[in-house]
Amino acid sequence: MTNKNEHNTHLDSEYGVDSRYASHEEYQSEATALMEARLQRMKGLSNSQVVQAKLLQLKFQMQEFIKQPVNEAKSYFSMFLQQYIDTLYAKRAVFAKDIGITPVQLSQVINNHRAPQDDFILKLMIHSERMYKGVSPFPEALWYQVYFHEKLCNLMATQQQWQSTLAKEVSVSEPSVRYGKRKK
């Protein structure tokens, strides 16, 4: 008879199972039981608790995004915005009304046809602060950080496309200060 401690540890993040198993069947059985227990527990949550959990998840995703290195061109701001709105509202038009913009303006921002203006992001900051009040502190600058990190990622990911064209327009004449020596 083999001891469970003699087997290799197997970690499967999909199921969140970290244990030692005598067989693959035992692993599958444990993973299925764990998922069933999680689903049963989730069924008992109120709508308010589900919204709070989704808001926390969104905040953590946004905070992780701004920590990521600059590397790819992708629209994270609009993705996070959609997730935020769809978590809180059945209709996006109601959100647009709540922050004092038209549904068309909101749609243009969500679909990346228009960059969000400062007043849009400021209203979004106020709205988020109020919505997260009972859930968790929400960093005031987080929407701006996500927006500008995305812009930086997009610029750096497309650098080969724009650099050669713009480099032709840039010249360096004799600077007044060259390498630490002042011109008299």
What is the reported pTM? Answer: 0.64
Domain that holds residue 21: 9-43
Instruction: Quote the tokens at residue 35.
Output: 């998922």
Is 170 within a domain?
A: no
* Helix (H), strand (E) at residue 18: strand 17-20
**17 domain-assigned:** yes
Q: Which residues of 69-94 are buried (b: 16+ CB within 10 A; e: fewer)?
A: eeeeeeebbbbbbebbbebbeeebee
pLDDT digits (tens, 9 = 90+) for 21-33: 677 788 787 878 7
pLDDT tens-digit map of 39-97: 777 677 788 888 888 889 989 988 888 887 766 767 789 999 999 999 999 999 999 99
Residue 7 or 97, more confident:
97
| Alpha carbon separation from 165 to 161, 172, 179 (Å, rounded) | 8, 16, 28
- Do residues 21 and 82 both lie within one domain? no
Whether 181 maps to a domain, the answer reads no
Query: According to the model, what pLDDT value does residue 67 have?
Result: 85
Nearest to 59 by CA among 118, 140, 162: 140
Residues 74, 140, single domain; the answer is yes
pLDDT in tens, 93-136: 999 999 999 999 999 999 999 999 999 999 999 999 999 998 88
In a domain, residue 124? The reply is yes
Residue 81 lies in a domain: yes
Distance CA 82, CA 99 (A): 15
Give pLDDT, residue 144.
Answer: 93
Residue 63 lies in a domain: yes
The domain total for the chain is 2
Task: Give me the residues paired with residue 35 across strands.
Answer: none
Does the structure show a pLDDT above 80 at 176?
no
Across 134-139, average pLDDT: 88
Q: Are 21 and 4 in contact (CB under 8 A)?
A: yes
- Residue 2 falls within a domain, yes or no? no
Looking at the structure, do residues 36 and 51 belong to the same domain, yes or no? Answer: no
Q: Assess whether 36 and 110 both reside in one domain.
A: no
**Position with higher pLDDT, 9 vs 82:** 82
Q: Which residues pair with 19 in a beta bridge?
A: 10
3-state class (DSSP) for residue 101: coil
Gap between the Cα atoms of 134 and 11, Å rounded: 34
Whether residue 34 sits in one domain with residue 93: no
